């Protein structure tokens, strides 16, 4: 009887610890519309240490090989989404098919993915479309600024 009582109280508590994994696409879209720097960690409700970004038409075998994601997605047949795969300590935590009109991550593919500290992106306007791009600073020079070094 004690074992049954333990199971009745313990099992429901275990289920409660698995909180929904959310990417706040609405807040992300709003911040993109005001050209805010996008720190991806600020839009997630779960722990992760690496994010893999796959552009439209990425073959499923490439997604599986690089990120470990085994779920079925439409990334290989759709140009309207970008696939984000989040991992923590080498295991897939979750994934999201993000609509490109909300947040266009399509140019952020990087072999090996992005660490949390690398997942800071900027909004770039081209042809009435807003793309997220990686920080292209070199040697600490922020993107969009020039560094003039004196001759040696």
60-101 confidence digits (pLDDT tens): 999 999 999 998 889 999 999 999 999 999 999 999 999 998
Query: 123 lies in which domain range?
Result: 20-134
Asked if the structure places residue 113 within a domain, the reply is: yes
DSSP letter for each residue of 40-76: GGGGBSS--SEEEEE-TT--HHHHHHHH---S--STT
Query: 119 pLDDT exceeds 60?
Result: yes
Considering the domain boundaries, does residue 15 fall inside one? no
Q: What's phi and psi for 130, nearest 5 deg?
A: -110, 115
Quote the number of domains for the chain.
1
CB atoms < 10 A from the CB of 150, how many? 4
In a domain, 11, yes or no: no
Supply the pTM of this predicted model. 0.77
pLDDT of residue 136: 62
Q: Does residue 1 sit within a domain? A: no
Structure tokens at 44: 């997630």
Percentage of the chain lying above the pLDDT 90 cut: 61
* Residue 94 lies inside a defined structural domain of this protein: yes
Question: Is residue 130 in a domain?
Answer: yes
pLDDT confidence of residue 18: 55
Give dist(CA 121, CA 55) in Å, integer. Answer: 16
First to last CA, the chain: 83
Cβ neighbours, 10 Å, residue 118 = 16
Which residue's entry shows tokens 């090996």?
112
DSSP state of 12: H
Q: Average pLDDT for residues 103-107, to the nearest whole number?
A: 92
Query: Residue 46: inside a domain, yes or no?
Result: yes
Q: Distance (Å, rounded) from C-alpha 102 to C-alpha 28?
A: 8
CB atoms inside a 10 Å sphere around CB 12: 9
Q: What is the pLDDT of residue 19?
A: 55
CA of residue 67 relative to chain centroid, distance: 12
Mean pLDDT of the chain: 80
Name the pLDDT band for 128 (thresholds 50, 70, 90).
confident
Q: For residue 152, is it within any domain?
A: no
State residue 8's pLDDT score.
Answer: 37
Residue 126's pLDDT is what? Answer: 87
């Amino acid at each position: 009887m004690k074992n049954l009582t333990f199971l009745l109280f313990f099992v429901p508590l275990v289920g409660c610890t698995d909180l929904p994994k959310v990417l706040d696409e609405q807040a992300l879209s709003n911040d993109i519309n005001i050209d805010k720097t996008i720190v991806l960690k600020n839009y997630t409700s779960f722990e992760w240490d690496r994010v893999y970004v796959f552009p439209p038409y990425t073959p499923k075998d490439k997604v599986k090989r690089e990120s470990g994601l085994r779920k079925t997605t439409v990334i290989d047949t759709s140009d309207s989404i970008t696939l984000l795969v989040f991992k923590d300590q080498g295991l897939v935590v979750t994934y999201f098919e993000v609509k490109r009109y909300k947040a266009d991550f399509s140019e952020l593919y990087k072999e090996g993915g992005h660490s949390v500290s690398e997942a800071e992106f900027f909004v770039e306007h081209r042809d009435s479309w807003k793309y997220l791009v990686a920080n292209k600073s070199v040697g600490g020079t922020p993107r969009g600024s020039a560094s003039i070094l004196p001759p040696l």
